Structure 1
Amino acid sequence: MNLDGSGLTCAQVHAAAHGEARVTISGVDRARAAWAAARQLTGIVYGRGTGVGANKDVQVEHGGPDLLRSHAGGAGPLVEPERARAMLVVRLNQLLAGGSGLDPGVLPVLARAINDGFTPPVRTYGAIGTGDLTALATTGLCLLGELDWHPPPTPRPTTTPPPRFALADGDALPLISSGAATLGDAALACHRLRLLLDAAVDVAAFSFVAVGASAEPLAAAVQEARPHPGQAVVAARLRGLLSQEQGVRVQDPYGYRALAQVHGAAMDALDRAETVVGTDLNSASENPLIAGSLAWHNGNFHSGPVALALDTLRASLVQAAQLSTARLATLMDPGFTGLHPFLADRPGGSGALILEYVAQDALAELRHLATPVTTGTAVISLGTEDHAGFATQAARHALRCVEPLEIVLACERAAATRALHGPTPDRPLTSDVEAARLALRGGG
């Protein structure tokens, strides 16, 4: 997978983060030009000869390592290696976009860290959507040799040295002026949610067949009358999976009748989130931005657009999951399936009743994770930094949404499969749910 500062996608971030693709770099001219221009700058340039935050007007000398040391102060548990690696992939691509003024000699070193499986010991807490300072400062100290990289999951030859680079004083702020960790989480979340929302259409098709739901609401004429893109895509996919003669009821419950509208809105929200995240994956979000022969002090680091897009996405997941639990309820109802209540094999049996409890528990978690971050802010650094986007939390919560959404859909799939294949005697259903989760991931 080649990185050149443009064209990086959420799917590619996921592949590189999980060791499914190696990275190469090309097109370093923009990074090299910014570095050369930065070395010729005169006058006051934020972070290059000044303190940061409220210390922006205080001149300092030789403060590079100290800036990294002071900002590498994250807290809480270590993030998973794939999340730390996603951050490295994003930051490397951003640096290739130019504008940082960072020594381009560090670029192949970061690429080697990604490919060899080294990750910085990044802590969970320490950012509010105005730059992932603690995570990237920790990375800088690893490059300097002051902190140890986490070793690769697969042991390397003892002759493989850890990635090192002698960052100069002026390289500290250019390295950490980025939301790369937040964007890494957002990219991982968008990719995994894409797979789940696609698979959810197939799950819904099982339920349609199991209860004999009408395909009439999916007709092309209906979609053309209200042409939302996601709605049209979902309806078309379901039409391709179902018989157009199926179903005899005039008005099915909303879990079926309004599926294209609700699930389609989630697909539209995901498309929007991927577009916003993709823009930032390939942007120079540096402050100051080195462009031409000048340093431009700016606010491109602010994550407001990402936070807003991810807030909408998480809310839409709740709507989609609520319809899944609604369909699950119909699968328990003999009035829809013609079987015993709860898909039991005999009158009075519990059958698949417990799946509703599991799904509603997971749905409650999704509702919690959908709480918007964009309604809050923070004022820090003696009032100099007087707004925060909290996209960090939005991305973290979006990534956490994957598990409960998968469980809700797995419960529906397990119930629909039982309805279609015939009830079995009462037994633990954990293996059914786990098999359904595996199927949702494309494993069966």
Structure 2
Amino acid sequence: MFTVDGRTLRCEDVRLVARERIAVTVDEAAVRRAEDAWRLVTELSARREIYGRTTGVGANRDLTIDEDSGPEHGRRLLRSHAGGAGDLLPADHVRAMMLIRLNQLAAGGSGVHPRVLTALAEALTSGAIPRVHSTGAIGTGDLTVLAETGLTLAGERPWADGHLPPVPLDTADALAFMSSNAATLAEATLACLELERLLRASHVVAALSYVVLGGSPEAYATAVHAARPHPGQVRCAGEMRRLLGMTGAPPPGRRIQDPYGLRAFPQVQGPALDSIAYLRNVLTIDINASAENPMVSLAAGDVFHNAHFHTAYLATALDQTRATVHHVAELSAARLGDLVEPSFTDLPAFLADGPPGSSGVMILEYVTHDALAMLRQAALPVTLGTAVVSRGVEDHASFSTQAARQARAAADAYQQVLACELVAAVRALRMRPADLMDLPVRDAFDLADATLDANTADRPFSDDLTKAAALLGQLSEI
């Protein structure tokens, strides 16, 4: 049983509920908070104009809704905004979206009827998934996805999987339910956790390459990073010292200075670690926020029109994260280039093991740079553009939706880059065994050695890359 309280949802909780069939319930205090907010906004709507409840939306904000057509106005809002296009969102993305929206509603700022919270919890528990489309948001509210979800809850759209009895959604619920970036936050959260996992694994993969290449420990010395103590850089250097057993005065490396793939790893990995930590902080705030417009404040006993729908924090954090991950991936590609170079390894070119002219792992460089090119495209900033919509009333957009979409693409590409380096590093350690007996990174080698094909003849690497990519999750925990 997972309990939603509107205040303490973690990114890991989102992934857990998104990918596992778990019973979900709403904390009783959160239900009371939602009901109090619903009663308050209902009372205020009878005395004053409230956007989307007594008025139209967007450029129609100045049009007052006829009292007799109130309930139908809400249904029209949902129907008119349920215009998503493109592919259907995958099930894990939709479940993550529903959980985040439920948690936001439990925070008590929307004013929706408590029955909406109960319905979302029942859908998550039963495995019912609405049929929603991917295209239709620009970082100022996931209107199409949430409208499609709302109509599904109301019984006007078919469920993609499972079923739930229809839930009445009136005017008070329509805009209040749609006023969120829950789908964007869901995709960003899943991408953030995946990138975190890959960045943790990259320490292990880089450490294996370090052993093959006979790296110099000076680049990771405590004194070096104490002189320039960026948090991520210090953390990366510490991880490399731990994995490589660098205690006391470690033996010198093979070169006075290593290539950048080893020597500059903390300085390049550090910004990525710091960026992903900042992104996680932004997500943690937003998935627990009362971010509706208008927002009901029980403390103030009032309703406030605001711009919480704008997700500049999320968009810029995602842009920065993708850019820093691209730099880290470039270093992985550089280390792969070093691994196939005899002058760095004292092994045959391309780690070949066969008759003259054997290609060894030559193809891995091509695969790496294909994936790196895809990552480069995914890393391009999306926040440099904007949009003016709704007859000029809504004149700025963050495009956080596209930034989140690109983050998942970046994670897929980066996984391929790391898989290529891992396959090459393990092959090289097999060809020239190193003394890993007392090093924590030995566990990583043993795991990969038991999983990857030991055949060093020229052969296809597709299966190896698939297995290596799957291993990264385990390597991230070493």
In the alignment, which of 173, 176, 186 is matched to residue 175 of structure 2?
Answer: 173
Q: Which moves more between the two structures, 108-117 or 180-189? A: 108-117
Is it true that 1:289 corresponds to 2:295 in the alignment? yes
Identity over aligned pairs, percent:
49
Q: Gaps spanning 5+ residues in structure 2: where? A: 432-454
- Matched residue type, 2:235: V
Question: Do the aligned partners of 1:19 and 1:115 also contact (CA within 8 Å) in 2?
Answer: no
Residues 401 and 4 of structure 1: CA distance in aligned 2, closer, same or farther (over 3 Å): same
Residues 21 and 232 of structure 1: CA distance in aligned 2, closer, same or farther (over 3 Å): farther
Q: Which moves more between the two structures, 116-125 or 358-367? A: 116-125
Is it true that 1:351 corresponds to 2:360 in the alignment? yes
Query: Which position in structure 1 is the counterpart of 2:3?
Result: 2
Once residues 21 and 265 of structure 2 are traced to their aligned partners in structure 1, the CA distance between those partners, rounded to angstroms, is 34
Once residues 368 and 163 of structure 1 are traced to their aligned partners in structure 2, the CA distance between those partners, rounded to angstroms, is 44
Q: Which moves more between the two structures, 284-293 or 163-172? A: 163-172
Is it true that 1:439 corresponds to 2:449 in the alignment? no
Query: Which position in structure 2 is the counterpart of 1:298?
Result: 306
Aligned partner of residue 296 in structure 2, secondary structure: strand
In the alignment, which of 189, 204, 207 is matched to residue 209 of structure 2?
Answer: 207
- Matched residue type, 2:16: A
Query: Which position in structure 2 is the counterpart of 1:40?
Result: 43
Query: Which position in structure 1 is the counterpart of 2:62?
Result: 57
Is it true that 1:429 corresponds to 2:429 in the alignment? no
Aligned partner of residue 356 in structure 1, secondary structure: helix
- Matched residue type, 1:432: D
Deviation at 1:31, TM superposition (A): 1.5
Aligned partner of residue 442 in structure 1, secondary structure: helix
Once residues 21 and 327 of structure 1 are traced to their aligned partners in structure 2, the CA distance between those partners, rounded to angstroms, is 42
Per-residue CA deviations over 1:133-168 (Å, capped at 9, x if unaligned) read 00000011011100011115xxxxxxxx52531112
Once residues 163 and 127 of structure 1 are traced to their aligned partners in structure 2, the CA distance between those partners, rounded to angstroms, is 28
Residues 248 and 277 of structure 1: CA distance in aligned 2, closer, same or farther (over 3 Å): same
Query: How many residues are paired up?
Result: 436
Once residues 72 and 122 of structure 1 are traced to their aligned partners in structure 2, the CA distance between those partners, rounded to angstroms, is 9
Aligned partner of residue 166 in structure 2, secondary structure: coil
- Matched residue type, 1:73: G
Is it true that 1:74 corresponds to 2:84 in the alignment? yes
Question: Do the aligned partners of 1:113 and 1:163 also contact (CA within 8 Å) in 2?
Answer: no
Deviation at 1:20, TM superposition (A): 5.8
Deviation at 1:233, TM superposition (A): 1.1
Aligned partner of residue 57 in structure 1, secondary structure: coil
Query: Which position in structure 1 is the counterpart of 2:115?
Result: 105
Once residues 232 and 35 of structure 2 are traced to their aligned partners in structure 1, the CA distance between those partners, rounded to angstroms, is 42
Once residues 277 and 266 of structure 2 are traced to their aligned partners in structure 1, the CA distance between those partners, rounded to angstroms, is 16
- Matched residue type, 1:8: L
Residues 420 and 443 of structure 1: CA distance in aligned 2, closer, same or farther (over 3 Å): closer
Aligned partner of residue 5 in structure 1, secondary structure: coil
Deviation at 1:7, TM superposition (A): 1.8
Deviation at 1:223, TM superposition (A): 1.1
Aligned partner of residue 2 in structure 1, secondary structure: strand
- Matched residue type, 1:175: F
Q: Residues 208-227 of structure 1: matches in 2 within 5 Å? A: 208-227=210-229
After the TM superposition, which parts of structure 1 deviate over 3 Å for at least 4 consecutive aligned residues?
Answer: none
Once residues 111 and 246 of structure 1 are traced to their aligned partners in structure 2, the CA distance between those partners, rounded to angstroms, is 59
Once residues 428 and 35 of structure 1 are traced to their aligned partners in structure 2, the CA distance between those partners, rounded to angstroms, is 62
Aligned partner of residue 160 in structure 2, secondary structure: coil
Question: Do the aligned partners of 2:21 and 2:127 also contact (CA within 8 Å) in 1?
Answer: no
Query: Which position in structure 2 is the counterpart of 1:136?
Result: 146
Query: Which position in structure 2 is the counterpart of 1:414?
Result: 423
Residues 58 and 363 of structure 1: CA distance in aligned 2, closer, same or farther (over 3 Å): same
Once residues 16 and 246 of structure 1 are traced to their aligned partners in structure 2, the CA distance between those partners, rounded to angstroms, is 48
Q: Which moves more between the two structures, 123-132 or 23-32? A: 23-32
Normalising by structure 1, report the TM-score. Answer: 0.96
Residues 178 and 114 of structure 1: CA distance in aligned 2, closer, same or farther (over 3 Å): same
Normalising by structure 2, report the TM-score. Answer: 0.89
Once residues 343 and 53 of structure 1 are traced to their aligned partners in structure 2, the CA distance between those partners, rounded to angstroms, is 62
Query: Which position in structure 2 is the counterpart of 1:157?
Result: none
- Matched residue type, 2:473: R
Question: Do the aligned partners of 1:410 and 1:436 also contact (CA within 8 Å) in 2?
Answer: yes
Once residues 33 and 398 of structure 2 are traced to their aligned partners in structure 1, the CA distance between those partners, rounded to angstroms, is 28
